[in-house]
Amino acid sequence: MSTFKPAADEVAALGHTRIALGVEYKGSRYSGWQRQASGVPSVQLALERALSKVAASPISVVCAGRTDAGVHACGQVVHFDTQAVRPDKAWVMGTNAELPHDISVTWMRQMPADFHARFKATARRYRYVIYNDPIRPAHLGEEVTWNHRPLDVARMAKAAEPLLGTHDFSAFRASQCQAKSPVKQLHHLRVTQHGQMIVIDVRANAFLHHMVRNLAGVLMAIGSGDKPVEWARQVLEGRDRKTGGVTAHPYGLYLVQVEYPAPFELPGRYLGPHFLTGFERLMG
């Protein structure tokens, strides 16, 4: 399958249309977002195959943020260029008809040539969902992280406070992270409880590889009482990943929103995951 992507100033000249899509998926069956040379199942590969059938020509997509194996998305954004002319409905309903049950296109929008799903994004938002109960859940086993030890949400929320703002997040960065800089700006980091569910809701200008899962691991260690509240700040200031504890499981992690400048006018959609939508009024 072709991976050719014309530059923005070439799109119109080549007679291409740039299209953006909203995509949601359950990541449990996939090796992650990114298409791999080995051909193992990935979200990108499944989406490109479905779109190529609708377009009757090869389609290659660019996403806002690559997710790891087992990680889910409710608000992934992608773009692609095509010469195919199809009704708007075809790019949504037609593509969904070709997709497996655990991937869905939620909206489409024809975009100007200078739109880029990754590089034009101004912020990204993730939610990490923990099921906190002594008994392992029979449902949502691959969609939440189960923690059997009682977690103190107030301690977790207090520990999160020093992490807000612009910092060097090297201690929360995976060793294989390819980001040019470990400095990121955390706009909010909220910990809330809804029955047996604890939700870590985090928004930033960008994220490092495994950053949210490492944040979740630190906060859960504090919530369980294994570490003091001050430990989150100490890990941050130490800038050493080896001091940052265990990387939390991918199951409970969701990319829920990608933000862009207002002139692009991308469609809005409720924040997920679906089983948490009843808490939207409380979570904001």
CA distance 37 to 250: 23
Whole-angstrom CA distances from 162 to 27, 100, 158, 188 are: 31, 42, 8, 11
CA distance 107 to 267: 7
Q: Catalytic site residues?
A: 68
Q: Which burial class, exposed, middle or buried, applies to 190 when counting CB atoms under 10 A from its CB (0-12, 13-18, 19+)? A: middle
- Strands 165-168 and 103-111, how do they pair? unpaired
Beta carbons within 8 Å of 107's beta carbon, 6+ residues apart: 21, 22, 92, 267, 269
Amino acid at site 139: H
| Contact call for residues 209 and 219 (beta carbons, < 8 A) | no
Phi, psi of 32 (to 5 degrees): 130, -175
Q: How many C-alpha atoms does 218 have within 13 Å on its Cβ side?
A: 28
